[in-house]
Chains A and B, each alone.
Chain A
Amino acid sequence: MIAPYFVIIPLLAAFLVPFASNRRDTGAVLLSLAAGTSLLVLSAYAFFGLSGETQVYRMSAWKLPIGINLVLDAFSSFMLVMVSLIALTSLVYSVKYVRRLDRDWRYYSLFMILVAGMNGVIVTGDLFNLFVFMEIALFAALVLVAYGGQAHEFEASFKYAVMASVSASLILLAIAVVYGATSTLGLATISQALSRQSPLLMLWVGGLFLAGFGLKTAAMPFHAWLPDAHSSAPSPISAMLSGVLIKTLGVYVLIRLFYNVLGAPRLFLHLFLGLGSVSILVGVLLAVGQWDIKRLLAYHSISQVGYILLAMGLDTTLGMAGAVYHMINHAVFKSLLFYNAGALETALGTRDLREMGNVSKLLPVTSATSMIASLSISGIPPFNGFFSKLMIIVAAVQAGHPLLALVAVVGSLLTLASFMKVQRYGLRGGPPVEKTVGRVDGWMKTAMVILAALCLITSLLVVPGIREATLDPVVKVIMDKTQYATTVLGK
């Protein structure tokens, strides 16, 4: 019964951080690193210890129609591993990075609240509880976006906050409709009650959920807030937002709701296909034209989430495996790219690619790891991005959508083009840079090297023996669809 600890540990750490640090942030750093490590160990233990089982924890021992339960199955523990991994590297990266912003322990406290909110969204089995945890994560994210205290950061945070309040209202409306129709809030009981209701209700509920959580996912028509928020935040926070926040609050919840609760209605799967392919193309086309390195990366997040949505809409086992696999791959390489961008910004004092030059001599670790990340995101063979994109493309062809497969291939080529631009202008081309304004310290290098290694290690997940142990149980939970309800209620 370890499900509640995924919320307890970060929340407790957030509370204890102010006490552990008075004037210096050493206590805060140590405490949050300890919390991050224990979360990673716990989630890895949960993922490999479950072996396809589902654990249900009843809060205060209330049974389901009345109480709130926490559900830990293969899919949620997979997401927990992803969040803990990126959170830990992000904390390692932050140690020196946030000190130049001249603030103290508040950063770590907020960071832990962000992690608590995301973990809560992942483990909860109750719709309203999910909403509350989502708001917790969002508030922390909003404050962290504005953490640097500059004008454009407040502006981005305000835009993000307005978007978040619109999507919160839509989600609340959806919860009201669901509760009005089914008189229950547990995901499992909703799933059983909705299957007896009219299909028209499914349209209402699905439409409101798609609009609400689609805003969080930042798929193409809902994307306007993302490039500002993700590029204005401090780099470790950008990595958290692009790497895991849009996936936990957006993609994870969409998969959970539309597959496990609503039973994958056809209309919405087609909408996923449409949203996904539009996001892939338009996201990457907007990215190619950017000169600010972090804005470029933020637009790529839209495009890469498009791949996940596209694979989600295919409704095949291989497609879903591709979606889940691409989720963790994107978390790894996009976080690494944001760390690289942060390192470049620290060293050169600019985010404009035109003002950068050849830094391969000056910053060997940054330029090497950014090469690995760029190759991963563009889908070049030995790295992880290639395998997940290949899975998605093959699944699209098998499902009878060759046109969408073509969209995915074209998107991948354009991604390669835009990262050649990053490498050419930002890191390798042009005159060598003589001196730096800041130093890329050991903590930042450690975080970058860990994630660069993970870019290679996660490509092992397709190896047959390893795939059965990692990806397949996750895909099974999703593709069992409304079996979820009987599994949760059966205990």
Chain B
Amino acid sequence: MTLYVLCFALFLVGLYGLLTKRDLVKIILSSGIMGYACNLMIVLFGYRHGGAYPILEKGKEAAAMVDPLPQALVLTSIVIELGATALLAALAIRLFQKYRTYDITKIRRLSG
């Protein structure tokens, strides 16, 4: 249970950063932290206490293994996050080229 709570706390840390930070790079990092928390949560849901590695061999039962599917899902979601972070970083670089600042409060051509 503690693990789940800590995981949720990590998610909230990311959300807090995303909502309050003014630096573009810190915003990107916060969104990464949120993603990590979600990935951790998925792996945790597939974890069984004292479970074995999920490879079916002779004399091993499937019931005692950790669930391998969440791990596969997390791999996919890590790749997606890599793409998202790269895209955000590229946009941040372009924004810096245009405005010469990473401060989100100074980047205000659009309102609302």
Contact = CB atoms under 8 A, between A and B. Distances in A.
B87 A128 contact: no
Interface string A117-132: 0000000000010011
Given A165-B31, A176-B45, A179-B42, A158 B91 contact: yes
Interface in B38-86: 38-39, 41-42, 45-46, 67, 69-70, 73, 76-77, 80, 83-84
A7 B23 CA distance: 38
Interface in A172-194: 172-173, 175-177, 179-180, 183, 185
Interface of A is mostly: helix
Contact of A175 (B34, B42, B83, B87): B42
A244 interface: no
B3 interface: no
Interface residues of B, number: 37
Interface string A231-244: 01000000000000
Contacts of B95: 151, 154-155, 158
A27 to B, nearest CB: 27
B84 A135 contact: yes
A185 B73 CA distance: 11
Interface residues of A, number: 37
A223 to B, nearest CB: 10
Contacts, number: 97
A457 interface: no
A152 interface: yes
B9 interface: no
Contacts of B94: 146, 149, 154
Nearest to B4: A180
Interface of A: 128, 131-132, 135, 139, 142-143, 146, 149, 151-152, 154-159, 161-162, 164-166, 168-169, 172-173, 175-177, 179-180, 183, 185, 224, 227-228, 232
8 contacts: A139-B84, A151-B98, A155-B107, A158-B92, A159-B110, A165-B35, A168-B35, A176-B41
- Going nearest first, the 6 A-B pairs with the smallest beta carbon separation are A180-B45, A151-B98, A172-B38, A165-B31, A176-B42, A169-B34
